[in-house]
Amino acid sequence: MINFKNVKTGEIKTASSLREEGDKIYIRFSLDGKEYGYNKNNIEVIDSDATELPFRVYTYAKDCYRCHKQTEILTYITYVDIPTDDVLFPCDYDRLNKHQNIFAHMQDPSIEYYGINVIGDIEEFDYMLMEKYPDRIKNCYSKTKNKIYPMNACCHCGTGQGWYFVYRDINEIIKNGAKLELYSCNSKMKV
Which residues would be at the binding site for Zn ion (CB under 5 A)?
A: 64, 66-67, 154, 156-157, 159
Of 40 and 69, which has the nearer Cβ to Zn ion?
69
Of 71 and 75, which has the nearer Cβ to Zn ion?
71
List CB contacts of 137: < 8 A, sequence separation 6 or more: 74, 119, 126, 129, 130, 150, 151, 152, 153
Where b means 16+ CB within 10 Å and e means fewer, 51-77 reads: eebbbbbbbbebebeeeeeebebbbbb
Q: What is the layout of strands, in order, in the sheet containing 70-75?
A: 70-75, 58-63, 181-182
Strands 43-47 and 160-161: unpaired
Q: To the nearest whole angstrom, how small is the minimum distance from the Cβ of residue 91 to Zn ion?
A: 29
Q: To the nearest whole angstrom, how small is the minimum distance from the Cβ of residue 34 to Zn ion?
A: 47
User: What is the sign of the dihedral through the CA atoms of 85, 90, 95 and 96?
Assistant: positive
The residues facing 137 across adjacent strands are: 152
Q: To the nearest whole angstrom, how small is the minimum distance from the Cβ of residue 172 to Zn ion?
A: 20
Q: To the nearest whole angstrom, how small is the minimum distance from the Cβ of residue 66 to Zn ion?
A: 5
Of 117 and 161, which has the nearer Cβ to Zn ion?
161
Q: To the nearest whole angstrom, how small is the minimum distance from the Cβ of residue 135 to Zn ion?
A: 15
Of 17 and 159, which has the nearer Cβ to Zn ion?
159
Distance CA 40, CA 37 (A): 9
Of 96 and 154, which has the nearer Cβ to Zn ion?
154
